[in-house]
Structure 1
Amino acid sequence: MKPAVVLVTQFEPTNGQTGEFSRFREAFSLEPIPDSPLPNLLYTNSDGSILGIIAGVGAVQTASVITALGMFSRFDLSDSLWLISGIAGGDPARSALGSPILTDWCVDGDLAWEIDARELPEDWPTGLLPLGAKAPYSPPATDGGVFGSRYESTPLPKDVLNWAQKLAASVPLAQSDEARKEGERYSENPAAASEPCLQVGATLSAVRFWHGHLMNEWANRWVELFTSGQGQFQSSNMEDSGTLFAIRFLHRQGLANADQVLLIRTVSNFTRPPQGEPAVSTLIAEEGEAHFPGFSLALENGFRVGEKLIRNWLAGDRPPGRGV
């Protein structure tokens, strides 16, 4: 089987609630592949042009699952477009709930030294340090030392990203009153209360579901550090560094094309509360679940953009140099 597109999502609730994969499954009539070699179900459409997977939550799961998928001889993924689609946290200074963000950089936020905040030196703004660094936001240890090669920052391929941006710009995006009202709480950040719009920016990937004013400041500075100022923090996720690491590994084996990867993260919640409010107020919802005021809107708009890109790729509308 040689699919033109590999669709990677991260989760699908087991209670029948709509997740990241649901709308794609309906739109492309994706059905389970029998005798899957993975613990995760694999899906395909009638002509085998799309291979879909729910890779799991957290970078450890996605790295393992994507590597196993790519090495299974039943599939030839060497010329596939990898479309990674999921919901994300977003910085209210830059994004409204429901905004799809095409990713230009993925930065890993887990490879680090950490000191408990209650034991910090007085002049340190955070206890999170680049692995091998001597102080917060200072240069990390170089490649080849005791910590091996670095993998904190991954630029996404520009030609595919530019192609996607031009196509997705014409996609009509859904809106919701709930998302708008949540954004209006951030009176100091007009972007939070604006209408959802397509954006391009960096995503910070960390298995810890972090939240709060100080952590948001850390995210901005961490992305700036590891992209040498070329990237701007736009979204947070828990999987993408693992997924992209696996694809790069498969690329080196000739089993995937790391130059054909698109990463879409759509804002379902903000990464910090409004000014003057405690972090927990926008982390945990009243019913005890995570606070996702833009959950349904993010799923819908992420699907709308992803569907457009998949259909155009299958129809042969691709970046220059990418064959049909």
Structure 2
Amino acid sequence: MSLWNKTAARLRVLTLVLIVATIAPTLASAGGFFKDERFFGPPTPAPKVLIISMFAPEGQVWLDKLGPWREHKVPGLSPDYPVVRCNRAEVCVMTTGMGHTNAAASTMALVLSRSFDLSRTYFLIAGIAGINPEYGTVGSVAWARYLVDFGIQWEIDAREIPAEWPGGYLGINTRHPKDKPPLDYKTEVFQLDEALLQKAYALSRGVTLSDGAQAQAARAKFPAAPANQPPTVLQCDTLAGDTWFSGTALGERATEWTKIVTDGKGVYCTTQQEDNATYEALKRGAALKLLDLKRVAVLRGGSDFDRPYPGQSSADNLVNYADQGGFVITLNNLFLAGNPLVQAISKNWAAWRNGVPR
């Protein structure tokens, strides 16, 4: 080929590249060739809302009500829950598996898989919990401002607690149970975005929640409100720890610990296993610019009391927690209280796309 022909051929290729670069955005927005899955595969899903549940019943309440769903298999998720499901409104549901380890591993796997564009996604962590009868009752649901880890403490054998101490727990590298620890783990406490919290609470505070006869009977054994009242939507804080506990003294420590690590600002009302682990995984994704931590909300529902009613043993309260009748109604109430936020975001995306609307 002559020098002239080689030059002409190169010019034709360059012209074609320039034409393609110019018209590609137009074709893509029109749903043309550049969005054809036959050539480029399916587009990366960009959820408007991702609901994070911890075990099957928590996820199922959303799956039953917001489908139909398309499944997306993500490497590294729990083998019990290997897919993320998304509907046509770009609302997705994932289940991590229970406990700190499963929650962190599954959330981290999702974030780092880059199977989804999470840069503008709102995350709703929604699950059941124990509830403090001083702030709520079975069936109540609470939006959290603070996520507190109850497990990162020192513990003294209960039979050897110093007489002058109020209990057997104290912060790591402290001298007394009332001392604030140095927070060396960096996961002891997280504060969620206030604007999203207030919007979520405002959207849900007036909803009518589910109730049941068994739950009403369990509440009636408590002598005072709010424990003996119908369920409501609350704003109070949640405590994470893999060890389930039952007892007034432990509940009082949960209240004290929440105040210690939040400098007196936090109000303990629900106890669960996973939320600090889930949030830390999301935080690491945010550090990689993969998501926005200001778009994380946490809703926990009280399926059972964290301490016994007067005259009941702590062991009976724990072992027979299912007798309180809170499980089914609380699952439904998580949906009833959480769905207004989900719908507000997905149906008014123009207002929410760039952040929580004022």
With structure 1 as the length reference, what TM-score do the two structures score?
Answer: 0.90
2:209 partner letter: L
Say if 2:159 is the partner of 1:121.
Answer: no
* Structure 2: distance between partners of 1:103 and 1:11: 20
Question: Does residue 76 of structure 2 align to residue 51 of structure 1?
Answer: no
Q: 2:219 aligns with which of 171, 176, 183?
A: 183
In the alignment, the residues of structure 1 paired with residue 166 and residue 66 of structure 2 have an alpha-carbon distance, to the nearest angstrom, of 48
Aligned partner (choices 298, 301, 306) of residue 271 of structure 1: 306
Matched residue SS, 1:236: strand
Matched residue type, 1:153: V
Distance in 2, Cα, partners of 1:57 & 1:265? 14
**Deviations 1:219-277, CA, capped at 9 Å, x for gaps:** 11011111111111111111111011111111111111110011000111000001232
Deviation at 1:320, TM superposition (A): 9.5
- Compare the two structures and name the one with the higher helix fraction: 2
Question: Residue 301 of structure 1 aligns to a residue in which SS?
Answer: helix
SS of 2:245's partner is: coil
The 3 A distance-change label for structure 1 pair 323 and 129 is: closer
Contact 1:6–1:80, Cα closer than 8 Å, also in 2: yes
SS in 2 for 1:20: helix
2:31 equivalent to 1:22: no
Does the 8 A contact of 2:73 with 2:82 survive in 1?
no
| Aligned twin of 2:205 | 169
Deviation at 1:34, TM superposition (A): 4.9
| Matching residue of 1:192 | 227
Q: How does 1:125-274 map to 2 (within 5 A)?
A: 125-140=166-181, 142=182, 148-187=184-223, 189-274=224-309
Give yes or no for contact 2:69–2:85 (8 Å, CA) kept in 1: yes
CA contact (8 A) 2:148 2:190 kept: yes
Check 1:149–1:23 CA distance in 2 against 1; reply closer, same or farther (3 A cut): closer
**Unpaired segments ≥5 residues, structure 1:** 13-18
Structure 2: unaligned runs, 5 residues or longer: 1-44
Q: Give, as a single letter, the amino acid of the residue that structure 2 aligns with 1:60.
A: T
1:127 Cα offset (Å): 1.7
Return closer, same or farther for 1:299/1:35 CA change in 2, 3 Å cut-off.
Answer: closer
Q: 1:30 to 1:306 in 2, by over 3 A?
A: farther
Which amino acid in 1 is paired with 2:239? L
Q: Give, in whole Å, the separation in 1 of the partners of 2:291 and 2:159.
A: 45
Whether the 8 Å contact between 1:30 and 1:44 is mirrored in structure 2 is no
Contact 2:218–2:325 (CA<8 Å) still a contact in 1? yes
1:309 aligned counterpart, secondary structure: helix
Call closer, same or farther: CA 1:291–1:181 in 2, change over 3 Å. closer
User: How many Å apart are 1:177 and its aligned residue?
Assistant: 1.7
Q: 2:124 aligns with which of 83, 90, 96?
A: 83
Deviations 1:25-68 (A, max 9, x none): 01111546254312332232343712211111111210111011
Q: For the Cα contact (< 8 Å) 2:214–2:324, is it kept in 1?
A: no
How many pairs were matched up? 309
The AA in structure 1 aligned to 2:225 is P
Residues 9 and 86 of structure 1 are in contact (CA less than 8 Å); yes or no, is this contact kept in structure 2?
A: yes
TM-score (norm 2): 0.82
Write the distance in 2 (CA, Å) between the matches of 1:202 and 1:300.
20
Q: 1:262-315: per-residue Cα shift (whole Å, max 9, x none)?
A: 100011100000123210121112xxx755521111011111112221111101
Q: Which amino acid is the alignment partner of residue 11 of structure 1?
A: F
Q: CA deviation at 1:213?
A: 1.1
Tell me which amino acid in the other structure corresponds to 1:2: A
Taking a change above 3 Å as real, the CA distance of residues 35 and 149 of structure 1, as seen in their structure-2 partners, is closer
Q: Distance in 2 between matches of 1:256 and 1:321?
A: 12
Out of 306, 312, 317, the residue aligned to residue 338 of structure 2 is 306
How far is 1:102 from its partner? 0.6
User: Which deviations, in whole Å up to 9, do the C-alpha atoms of 1:141-199 show, x marking residues without a partner?
Assistant: x36xxxx4432111110000111111112322112121111111011x22111111110
Counterparts of 1:67-78 in structure 2 under 5 Å?
67-78=108-119
Q: Is the 8 A contact 1:107 1:241 kept in 2?
A: yes
State yes or no: 1:294 paired with 2:332: no
Change (3 A) 1:150 1:74: closer
* Preserved contact between residue 300 and residue 334 of structure 2 (Cα < 8 Å): yes
Q: Which amino acid aligns with 1:254?
A: K
* Structure of higher CA gyration radius: 2
C-alpha contact 1:106 1:155 (8 A) present in aligned 2: yes
Q: Secondary structure at the match of 2:93?
A: strand
Q: Which has the higher contact order (CA 8 A, sep 6+)?
A: 1
Overall identity of the aligned pairs, in %: 26
